[in-house]
């Protein structure tokens, strides 16, 4: 209900007094007690207004202003008494908190509830609020603050009420908090394993996000550097699969991001792949005696490198009957080895198996070589001791000097 100053001025004092008396009568008819009327000072306002108006015509404008204010205040009080007053809806604002992505907070949050009614009206008002449906709380302060610490989504509902039971509309706010750093993702590998942490096949890589937290997964981020490079990639799923196919060393780096924008620690995994046999495996004659043969073995592997030389011999043929007599661990490109404890004047079939660090193997050709005979070593034919002519007729074999 609103009264205009010009309207009051036009009608004059009689109209003003009649209006005020009418308001008082309406209050009484509405079953408001005389005590409430006096408490609200309506009668006093009316008497003062009428007297002021009649006493000084020179102060007409000032009196009209005051009277208008008094009438509006009286009407406001009547509306409140009758329960018809709609109070101003309070305002809720987050005043403290670290906001991440997607309106999710990564810290405790303080929410301020403000009563927007005038200070005079607010004196007889209370702020009511509920936190996530819990028991209603109340304060007589004009403004109040609520601290939210619990992770997850917290709903706060607030409204104001005066001493006569008039209420404002309710206002609500939702605060989502995720203060927990995501767990580090896991990386699992699937392939044919070799020696020394090498794989001898393509390797399937699986990255799992694991525990995400309250806000949920935003993405997995990963990259691969080295032999099988992959630029940093972002996948909005909980699992990522890809293959490492290149020979050599590849390094995977991965981490996850939750919906609040918080990242996990980084995990790194190195994959060594060598599925190719050594490129070189050879054996050559060096020297002999009646009971030994010395050879030079050579090996090469471009990916993982040489790991060992396995020396074998046979007295049956160049294609069967081979047994391993010794295995030497060495990363050298060449290795000198002496077959010892041999019989004099006997033909031996010799070969070497070169193994790389991944466990891949390459077998050399066969070297056919005989030891010196006893007669040669005691001063017989000089051809044997000097490494004379070859008597080897085995296809595919590498032959050294034979005979005594």
pLDDT at 113 over 60: yes
Q: What residue numbers bound the domain in which 112 lies?
A: 91-177
> What is d(CA 13, CA 64) in angstroms, rounded to the nearest whole number?
10
Cα dihedral sign for 194, 198, 201, 202?
positive
Residue at a domain's end among 131, 160, 177: 177
- Give the model confidence (pLDDT) of 219-252 as tens digits: 999 999 999 999 999 999 999 999 999 999 999 9
**Do 314 and 388 lie in a common domain?**
yes
> What is d(CA 343, CA 341) in angstroms, rounded to the nearest whole number?
7
Residue 230 lies in a domain: yes
Cα dihedral sign for 224, 226, 229, 232?
positive
Average pLDDT over residues 108-135: 90
CB 359 within 8 A of CB 201: no
Residue 370, CA distances (Å) to 343, 346, 387 in order: 9, 5, 10
Residue 211 lies in a domain: yes
**Do 158 and 260 lie in a common domain?**
no
CB 40 within 8 A of CB 81: yes
Residue 52 lies in a domain: yes
> What is d(CA 309, CA 129) in angstroms, rounded to the nearest whole number?
82
**Do 106 and 42 lie in a common domain?**
no
> What is d(CA 118, CA 85) in angstroms, rounded to the nearest whole number?
14
Residue at a domain's end among 60, 81, 102: 81
Q: Which residues contact 348 (CB under 8 A, 6 or more apart)?
A: 293, 313, 314, 315, 339, 342, 368, 369, 370, 371
Residue 404 lies in a domain: no
pLDDT at 181 over 50: yes
Flag the least confident range among 56-65, 203-212, 220-229. Answer: 56-65
**Do 47 and 112 lie in a common domain?**
no
Average pLDDT over residues 295-322: 97
**Do 269 and 302 lie in a common domain?**
no
Q: State how many domains the chain has.
A: 4
**Do 169 and 216 lie in a common domain?**
no
**Do 41 and 106 lie in a common domain?**
no
Residue 86 lies in a domain: no
pLDDT at 312 over 80: yes
Phi and psi for 127 in degrees, rounded to 5? -95, 125
**Do 160 and 224 lie in a common domain?**
no
Give the model's pLDDT for residue 43.
45
Flag the least confident range among 120-129, 141-150, 158-167, 263-272. Answer: 120-129
Flag the least confident range among 53-57, 72-76, 105-109, 326-330. Answer: 53-57
Residue 378 lies in a domain: yes
pLDDT at 10 over 70: no
CATH of the domain at 342: 2.60.40.10
| Burial class (CB within 10 angstroms; exposed 0-12, middle 13-18, buried 19+) of 3 | middle
Residue 131 lies in a domain: yes
Flag the least confident range among 7-16, 17-26, 83-92, 200-209. Answer: 7-16
Taking all residues of the chain, what is their mean pLDDT, rounded to a whole number? 83
Residue 280, SS3 per DSSP? strand
Q: Which residues of 20-45 are buried (b: 16+ CB within 10 A; e: fewer)?
A: beebbeebeeeebeeeebeebebbeb
Residue 375, SS3 per DSSP? helix
- Residue count of the chain: 404
**Do 319 and 251 lie in a common domain?**
no
Residue at a domain's end among 81, 109, 124: 81
**Do 205 and 144 lie in a common domain?**
no
Residue 372 lies in a domain: yes
Question: Any idea of the CA torsion for 9, 12, 17, 22, to the nearest 10 degrees?
Answer: -80
> What is d(CA 295, CA 261) in angstroms, rounded to the nearest whole number?
65
Give the model's pLDDT for residue 213.
84
**Do 285 and 350 lie in a common domain?**
yes
Residue 35, CA distances (Å) to 42, 43, 265 in order: 11, 11, 71
Give the model's pLDDT for residue 343.
97
**Do 318 and 375 lie in a common domain?**
yes
Give the model's pLDDT for residue 123.
74
């Amino acid at each position: 209900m609103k009264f205009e100053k010009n309207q009051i001025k036009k009608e004059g004092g009689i109209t003003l007094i009649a209006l005020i008396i009418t308001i008082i009568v309406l209050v009484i008819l509405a079953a408001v007690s005389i005590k409430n009327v006096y408490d609200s000072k309506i009668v006093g306002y009316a008497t003062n207004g009428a007297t002021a108006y009649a006493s000084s015509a020179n102060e007409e404008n000032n009196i009209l202003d005051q009277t208008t204010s008094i009438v509006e205040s009286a009407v406001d009080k009547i509306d409140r008494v009758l329960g018809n007053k709609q109070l101003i809806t309070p305002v809720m604002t987050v005043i403290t908190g670290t906001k991440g992505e997607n309106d999710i907070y990564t810290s405790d949050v303080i929410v301020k509830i403000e009563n927007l009614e005038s200070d005079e009206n607010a004196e007889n008002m209370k702020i009511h609020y509920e936190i996530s449906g819990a028991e209603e709380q109340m304060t007589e302060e004009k403004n109040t603050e609520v601290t939210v610490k619990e992770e997850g989504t917290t709903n706060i509902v607030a409204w104001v009420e005066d001493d006569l039971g008039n209420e404002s509309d309710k206002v609500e706010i939702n605060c989502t908090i995720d203060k927990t750093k995501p767990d580090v993702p896991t990386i699992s590998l699937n392939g044919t394993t070799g020696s020394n942490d090498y794989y001898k096949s393509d390797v399937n890589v699986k990255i799992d996000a694991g525990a995400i937290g309250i806000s949920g997964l935003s993405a997995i981020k990963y990259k691969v550097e080295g032999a099988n490079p992959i630029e940093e990639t972002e996948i909005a799923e909980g699992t990522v699969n890809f293959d490492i196919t290149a020979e050599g060393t590849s390094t995977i780096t991965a981490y996850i991001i939750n919906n609040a924008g918080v990242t996990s620690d980084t995990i790194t995994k190195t994959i060594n792949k060598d599925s190719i046999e050594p490129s070189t495996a050879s054996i050559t004659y060096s020297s002999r005696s009646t009971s030994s043969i010395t050879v030079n073995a050579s090996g090469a592997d471009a990916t993982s490198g040489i790991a060992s030389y396995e020396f074998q011999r046979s007295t049956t043929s160049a294609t069967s009957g081979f047994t391993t007599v010794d295995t030497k661990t060495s990363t050298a490109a060449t290795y000198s080895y002496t077959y010892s404890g041999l019989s004099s004047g006997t033909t031996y079939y010799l070969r070497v198996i070169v193994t790389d660090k991944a466990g891949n193997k390459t077998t050399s050709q066969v070297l056919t070589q005989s030891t010196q005979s006893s007669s040669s070593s005691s001063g017989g034919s000089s051809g044997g001791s000097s490494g004379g002519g070859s008597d080897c007729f085995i296809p595919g074999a590498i032959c050294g000097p034979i005979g005594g």
